[in-house]
Chains A and B, each alone.
Chain A
Amino acid sequence: MKYLTKKDINKRIFGLEQYIPGSESVKDLSIKVTSGTSGYGPTVIVEKSAVEERTPRYLALLQNRLLRIGSQNANAYSSVNLALRHSNVKMVLVPDAKDLEHPGIGKIIQMFEPTELYSAPPSYMILILQRLKLKKPFPFNKLKYVFVSGGMVTTSLKDKIHALLPNLLECINEYGSAEGGSIAFSCPYLNTAYEDSDIPTFHPIPTMNIHIINPDEHSGIGEVVLTTHELKNYRTGDAGKITTEECPCGLKQTLRLYGRIDYDIVSCAGAIFTLPEIDKIFSSLEETVRDYRIELKDVFDNLTLHGEITIRIVPTTHVDTPEQFKKEIVEKLARELYVTPTRTLEELVKDGIFFQPTVLLEDEIVHGRKEIHLKKIVS
């Protein structure tokens, strides 16, 4: 089967043939763009909203006053157009970064009294909510639903959102992309069923054409591939696993996401390292570790494959006993990190599959546009 990748889709404007100037069908089209940070240049897609086939869940919940923040203008425009044409929303307010930085914005939002908030990405929403938290009256008191796209809402992030918005009924995390539109969404039942896990869990939109390719033999995790009006068999670059299970909400497919296939999930010596699991461990070390990066390398010793792990750490403060500090980091990570469905890193080190991890203390870790905490080193 032939697959499209990011590299392929920036060569021309996919979906442009759907645009017939003067036709009513234009109202369901939008121009979506990606920023080109993948290194392949910006992608432009003329997307048909396909509302009848796969209605984004947020449209069904919009009832009153939608505040839309974040995203590039072009992509925000598409979701606002959809909301105004295909939902019960009564009003939409779409402030941009400049509006949101204005000292008078709290009063404006308070006057608007939003009942629904859509933000991409989640970190941006947290920033805005925290900034306006001290405004009296708090402009988000009437918020019932929050829709978050463009990033994963982990359990701890969800707790933070609910703490900031005490009257909130539900925080819905949408999995989507500029290329594929709305793909999947969170569900309160799934949240409860998987509440102990920080792996984001969704229901794919039932009519969404989605599957996994190259699944790992043990974990079943592979790359998420989708087909839309514009893109056939598009490799999203996201690592995921699809299972079939009955959910009380009536849907039967569950999609779990493990980050980006190229760096948020790394296979090394037959084990799988996923960033959300590692991040969870390091978030409990926040007081002592300011930044980190784990580098993994496959090493062949004759014909036997081993894994080599280097943990780069930027301590929060001066470390008086560096060797003890390094030892504690390695022990905690090895003990708590499951790298196969049933085995911890510690067990694989004991079995000689992985070498004892090395810890290097650094003053700074240099990140590019995206913070990279997990990396495969290929020699």
Chain B
Amino acid sequence: MNNANQPSKDKQAEKLLREVLSYKPASFYTEKYKHREPVIDSLPTLTWKEIASSPLDDRIYTTEKLFLKIAYRDNTPFLVGRSFTDIVRENYGNKDVVRPFITFPYRHESMEKGFWFYEHNILPLITLEDLRLSTTIAAKYDIDSFISSMESAKRFLPALSKLLPVNALKEIRIIDTSFDLNFLFSYADPSKYTLILGQPDCGALAEACPELLLQKKLVFHVDDNTLLEPMKNTLCTRLFLLPTPLFRYETGIATHRVEATCSCKNADTVMLD
């Protein structure tokens, strides 16, 4: 693993893994890692199919109240647990905004991001199914930021731009695994965007370097709370306790590691293939 941050992230992952393995009410990881040493890069990878086929209660590693999401891979649904405690640790929002508008293709995705804002005492407007109604209400609420997936951005930005100056928003945050920069930059300046590499089953993993984004280059700094192993099927380990934890999870995202050419201090840098 060719990264200076990796050893400390490995240690964090192993510490978390020991914690998870000692949690008695759930059996998913004790079964999966039976007879294995908790050395992170020697562990077998985790697939969405294993998650989808395991009983929910076997893989819940918390007693907190849970908000469950339905994630889809290969058009197969499976359950992912979230709690207020872990949602707040995600890179889902900007604490400087006061009237965010959230829209994702699935209701639970929008709600999850909404909880992030609630936990920071910011009142979000969650999208409605109806495009015209949503945008009318967004204009009425005088939104100052827009949080969405790429698919929802393509649906909502054209309509929103007819009702309010999109470029005047404080932030447009897109959370997804592919980004259409030409489309996005046709609605607002690159400086308005925060692009997050993430997906419903594993959360926010990395953030596009704002400095390089100004040059229309899409290079991601991996979040401190994530251990990313770039490859064709990039592996992620979340370094804080998710209710349904992820260790070396096959994200299905193709990435490769790159040398950081920016002045940011985060050298854990990847690009999408």
Contacts and interface: CB of A to CB of B under 8 A. Distances in A.
A73 B123 CA distance: 15
Interface string A210-242: 000000000000000000000000000000000
A36 B128 CA distance: 13
Interface residues of B, number: 38
B128 A72 contact: yes
A99 interface: yes
A42 B137 contact: yes
A246 interface: no
A89 B65 contact: yes
Contacts, number: 117
A94 B56 contact: no
A94 B115 CA distance: 14
B123 A92 contact: no
Given A73-B126, A73-B127, A98 B105 contact: yes
Interface string B82-104: 00100000000000001000000
B67 A95 contact: no
B78 interface: yes
Interface string B70-84: 100000111101001
B209 interface: no
A26 B123 contact: yes
Contact of B70 (A29, A44, A92, A95): A95
Given A27-B121, A42-B136, A102 B65 contact: no
Nearest to A87: B65
A250 interface: no
B123 A21 contact: yes
Interface in A20-54: 21-24, 26-27, 29-31, 33, 35-36, 41-42, 44, 46
A52 B33 CA distance: 47
Contacts of A21: 98, 121-123
A73 B129 contact: yes
B222 interface: no
Given A21-B123, A97-B129, A84 B65 contact: yes
Interface string A86-115: 000111111111110010110110011000
Contacts of A77: 110-111, 114, 126
A108 B137 contact: no
Given A27-B118, A80-B111, A111-B79, A73 B68 contact: no
A317 to B, nearest CB: 37
Chain A interface residue number, banded = 35 or more
Contacts of B65: 84, 89-92
A29 B133 CA distance: 21
A95 B107 contact: yes
A99 B108 CA distance: 10
A76 interface: yes
Contact of B111 (A36, A42, A94, A99): A94
A211 to B, nearest CB: 30
B121 A26 contact: yes
Contacts of A108: 70, 77-79
Interface of A: 13, 19, 21-24, 26-27, 29-31, 33, 35-36, 41-42, 44, 46, 72-74, 76-77, 80-81, 84, 89-99, 102, 104-105, 107-108, 111-112
20 contacts: A13-B140, A21-B121, A21-B123, A22-B122, A35-B133, A41-B136, A42-B140, A74-B125, A77-B114, A92-B65, A92-B66, A94-B107, A94-B111, A95-B70, A95-B107, A96-B107, A97-B129, A107-B77, A108-B70, A111-B56
Closest 8 CB pairs of A and B: A96-B107, A26-B121, A21-B98, A91-B66, A93-B68, A104-B77, A77-B126, A74-B126
